[in-house]
Structure formats: C-alpha cells, structure tokens
Amino acid sequence: MNGFGADAMSLPKLRHWVGILALFVAALNMAGCNDRVQEAADNAALAQAHFDAGNFIEARESIHRAIAARDDVPEYFILLARSELALQQTSGAFNAYSRALDLQADNLEVLQNIAELGLQTDRIREADEAADRMLLLFPGSARAMLVKGFIAIESGRPDDARRYAADILRINPDDEGGAILSARLSALDGRFGEAVAELQKASNTVGETEALNATLLEVYRAQGNAEGMRSVFPQVVAAAGQIADYRLDYINFLYKTESRPNDLAMLASFNRLLHEYDPSPLSAAQRQAMAQTGSRASQIALARFYLESSQLTEATAMLEQPLAQEVLEAKALAARILVAQGRAKAADRMAASVLAIDPRNPDALLARSARRFATGKLDAAIEDANVIVSDAPQEYMGYVALANAYLAKRSALRARQVFERGVDALPQSILLTQSYEQFLRRIGSPIVRHGAPIAGPGML
C-alpha cells in the first residue's frame, strides 16, 4: 500500500458523510422556515381578526409578530399600516406603507397612502414620487393630481397647481378635491370671495364634508373673518370626532375672541391652553367632583394637565377611579407620575405592566425612558424616546426626553435638532417652547422665538 493508502480509502466515506450532513442541515433549515411561515400566517390571521373587531392595538401587536417571523409579505405591512391609521398614527402608517412599497411597487392602496400621508408628514419627496408612479400606472388619478397640486403650491409653483386643479375638474366638475385645490389657489391670490363661493358650490353639489368645511375655515382664517370662522367651526369640530387638533383650535379661537368656554368635560382637548391661560382651572371642590363623577376622558386629561404642571397630588387623585378600573391609559400615566414622585421601583413595575400589553404605549415609554436616563442607560433611553417621537409626534415630552438624552451624551447639536423638529411640529406647545428655551440657556445660545400665530391643523 502506498503512502496515500489510508487517506485514499477513507476519502469516499468522508464525502459521503459530508453529503448526508448537508442534507440534514438543509432539512432542518426547511423545517425552521416552514415553522416561521406558519407562525407568521397564524399571527397575521389573528391580527386581521382583531382589526375586523376594532381591536386596533391588538391587531398592531399581532401583525408585528407576524412581520418578525416573516418580513417579505406586503400584505402584512399593509395591515400594519391600516392598524396605525386606525390608531391615528400617521407616521407609523407611512412607514409601514413604505415597507409594503418595497415589496409591491404597483399596489394602488400603497401608492395612494404614501402620496397622501407623505404630504401630511412632510415627506414631500416620497409623496411626489408616489403620485408620479400612480399617474404612470393609473393615468387620470384625481387623488394623485391633488397631491401633485398641493406639492406645487408648497413648492411655489402656483401655475402647475392651477393646471392640476383644472385637469381634475375637467375629468369631474364635481370633484371635491379639485374644488378644494382651486379654492385654496383663489385664497392665495387674495380672492377670498371666489374661494368661499367655490367651496359653497361644492357643498351644494356633493354635500357638506369635513374636508370642505375645514378648507372653508382656513379661507376665513386667512381672510381674518372671525364671524365666518365662528359659523363653520362647530361643523368642523363635530366632524373631527376624536381628533383633538380642531377642538383645541376652536377653544383657542374662543379664548382669543373673548368667548371663553367653560365645558370642563372637554379638558382632554385643551390642557395645553390651560397652561397658557388658566393654570388653576378647578377649585378643590370642583376637582373632587370631577374625580368622582367626571368622564374617564376628562379625568385622564386633567391628570395629565396636573402632571405637566407638577401638581402630583392632584394628578394622582384624578386617576383614582380609572386605576381602580384597570384602565391601561391611566396606568401608563400613573407610571409617569410615580417617576416624578421619585418612586422608582413602583414606576418600573407600572410601566412594565403596561408595556407587556402595549409595547409602544407613549406614556409608559416616557416613564421607562426617564428611568433609563436616570440610571445612565442613555442609548436605551434614546431608543424609547425615538419610538415616542415616531408614534406620537403630538406628545411634546417625547422631544424633550430625546433631546435631554442626546445632551447627556454630549451631543448638543443633535439635541438642538430634536428641539427644532419638535417646535416645528408643535408650534403652539407652550411647554415644549419653554423646555427649548431652558435648553438654549443651558448651552449658552441666544434665544430666537419662533412665531406662533393662531394656526389651524390645515394651512393655506
């Protein structure tokens, strides 16, 4: 036997076993893949059932689990986007639709929502590209041309906007969006009477709609027509439902025009105004009555106001009933109160109990972010604050928490960028403005006040 004899005899056996091992590993991978596919399908089906039943938080969590198991199914991201929209999380919905677009570039629902949500969330480039793709795939799409028209206005191209408005109305003279775009252009030219006439004509044709009334309100606002605003505000507020922006705007208008409201049951909509106009809105007797007989929404809104005013005893008392009823929103807010009281362990437990049910709850994340900040876990604090800013851009404390964490990491520039982003998003938030000014004093920067006129949710 030559010197290669032993190795040569064993080589075929080695190749044989290597081949068997490769087949075995492939089989295991296939089994694991099949398990993940089934897990994703099961969670997606559960998410759809929750969505159909109106349980949007549960739908969002279930579809997140489906996506964690399998992230190559566009329908999963579409369902996530629909859930985010149902929860009024426009940024989250936009992000989910963007993921769906990566997987399915010709889906009309996806393109339409990226165009419209992109316009709402200042993702103008993405909105413009989606509208262009819609027009390529679906020529004559009125909704795509409407987005293009609004972008043209914002980009200082009124002639292009007029062309889009004319094209829309040529296809359908009764198109609501075309009438709104045309009226907005008339108002920008100072032809307020024509703008009002266009909107009223559209209302007579298609009936009063939220969008038509909201545009009419903004035309009256630009005109400085207080009586006109007063005439249309109630319809806008009624149509807005749970969206607080217009109700807050209405109360602001009433304060500015010296018609002070006294409906304390609507405090959820204007606690920001209380900070500016009435830091002590209730007497002790009124607080007790509200804590005992007020609606759940008003109790939680008042608790939030008192927390933001550092009146922690009053905030705790206002949550007594909702906490006894195990209301998740109340528990999340209570976690923040516990942090403010220095009761760290109790705050951790309360926040964890909420996040176990709703992992992206803004108040619970604020509590956990504050605790992580206090214990030096700055990256984790930033992670929580980023979720808040993304999911709940109307929560001013998300910007404050994120900026403070960056500042603690010696990144004053990023902290300042966060504050500027927040002030742009929430120009009427006196609390955010105060926090920003404190930050500027701390870093020795001159304070430049942003203009904060009465501004509605829409704009001309």
The full set of domains in the chain, from first to last, is: 358-455 (1.25.40.10)
Q: Give 71-78's long-range contacts (Cβ < 8 A, gap of 24+).
A: 71/99, 72/103, 73/40, 73/44, 73/103, 74/100, 74/103, 74/104, 74/107, 74/110, 75/44, 76/40, 76/44, 77/103, 78/107, 78/109, 78/110
Mean pLDDT, the chain, rounded, equals: 83
pLDDT of amino acid 267? 45
Q: Give the pLDDT confidence of 373-399 residue by residue, as tens digits.
A: 999 999 999 999 999 999 888 888 999
Q: Report the C-alpha gap between 15 and 17 in whole angstroms.
A: 6
pLDDT of amino acid 33? 58
pLDDT of amino acid 247? 61
pLDDT of amino acid 2? 46
Tokens 């068997």 belong to 20
CA angle 42, 47, 53 (to 5 degrees): 130
Task: Spell out, as residue ranges, where the chain has pLDDT lower than 50.
Answer: 1-11, 242, 244, 258-269, 447-460
pLDDT of amino acid 130? 95
**Amino acid of residue 457:** P
* C-alpha closest to that of 183 among 207, 219, 149: 219
- Specify the pTM: 0.52
Each residue of 258-294: b (16+ CB within 10 Å) or e? Answer: eeeeeebebbbbbbbbbbeeeeebbeeeebeebbeeb
* C-alpha closest to that of 290 among 278, 277, 280, 303: 303
Torsion angle defined by CA atoms of residues 62, 64, 65 and 67, in that order, rounded to the nearest 10 degrees: 130
pLDDT of amino acid 226? 87
pLDDT of amino acid 164? 95
